């Protein structure tokens, strides 16, 4: 897989996947972890990304220039989350994705596949902290999520 140094900024972003369910998630025992009930359906999903400022130890919104900067050079990209199916996305301009467009592609991949995920018997609502995209098998880029 070719090198993509333009991903450095994109993969440094902090992000959280907000998953709204038809039935509220519930705590697992005395832990702070949440799990979705088995009968819960995904109602809404949104990825919110920010930049962490190491100097101030604070988060800030992305600037318009950052959102329009090049995040991935290529006519298309295939993204896969966890063990889900790969989802193909075409670059709107035919040659690269901006940060905004690649964030939208990550969000759309999750919208299409997250409902099929399973964690403690329901949709995975625990692994929601964006940790970048990384080369996977067969030319597919894997989306990494932390908890």
* Per-residue confidence (pLDDT) for residue 32, from 0 to 100: 75
* DSSP string computed for the chain: ----TTHHHHHH-EEEEEEEESS--EE-TTSS-EE--TT--EEEEEEEEEEEETTTTEEEPPPHHHHHSEEEESSEEEEEETT---EEEE-TTSSEEEHHHHHHHHHHHHHHHGGG--BTTB---S--EEEEEEE-GGGPEEEEEE-
The domain limits of the chain are 6-146
Which residues of the chain fall short of a pLDDT of 50? none
pLDDT tens for each residue of 92-102? 999 999 999 99
- Is the pTM higher than 0.85? The answer reads yes
Note the pLDDT of residue 29: 78
């Amino acid at each position: 897989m070719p090198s993509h140094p333009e991903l450095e900024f994109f993969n440094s972003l902090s992000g959280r996947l907000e998953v709204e369910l038809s039935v509220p998630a519930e705590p697992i025992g005395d832990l702070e972890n949440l799990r979705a009930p088995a009968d819960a359906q995904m109602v809404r999903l949104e990825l919110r990304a920010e930049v962490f400022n190491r100097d101030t130890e604070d988060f800030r919104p992305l600037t318009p220039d950052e959102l329009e900067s090049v995040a991935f050079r290529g006519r298309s990209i295939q993204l896969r989350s966890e063990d889900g199916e790969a989802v193909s996305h075409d670059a709107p301009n035919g040659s690269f994705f901006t940060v905004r467009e690649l964030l939208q592609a990550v969000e759309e991949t999750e919208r299409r596949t997250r409902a099929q995920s399973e964690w403690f018997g329901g949709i995975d609502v625990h692994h929601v902290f964006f940790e970048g995209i990384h080369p996977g098998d067969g030319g597919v880029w894997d989306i990494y999520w932390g908890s």
